[in-house]
Amino acid sequence: MIEHWTDLAACRSADPELFFPVSTAGPALDQVAEAKQVCASCPVASDCLAWALRAGESAGIWGGTTPDERRYLRLKPLPAAPAWH
């Protein structure tokens, strides 16, 4: 039974450290790209991104975005919360 969007997260079986690169530049770009590849196949990426934006999550890859990308997105109106939140 699905109780929360995280139940469907594509990263549930991935190494959590993959989603928290030490940087978003230089050698860490490969790690960022690998994490984003997992997010690209995630059925709840939009829920994840909406949560990260609402929570002001300042670290890690969430919904296929880096912290810098989320800072840019926060300049825009927030996406509406999905019905199951």
DSSP letter assigned to residue 63: T
Among 50, 53, 64, 70, binds ligand SF4 (CB under 6 A): 64
Please report how close the Cβ of residue 41 comes to ligand SF4 at its closest, in angstroms.
8
State the binding string over 6-45 for ligand SF4 (x if CB under 6 A, else -).
---xxx-------x------------------xx--x-xx
Please report how close the Cβ of residue 48 comes to ligand SF4 at its closest, in angstroms.
3
Residues of the binding site for [4Fe-4S] cluster? 11, 39, 42, 48
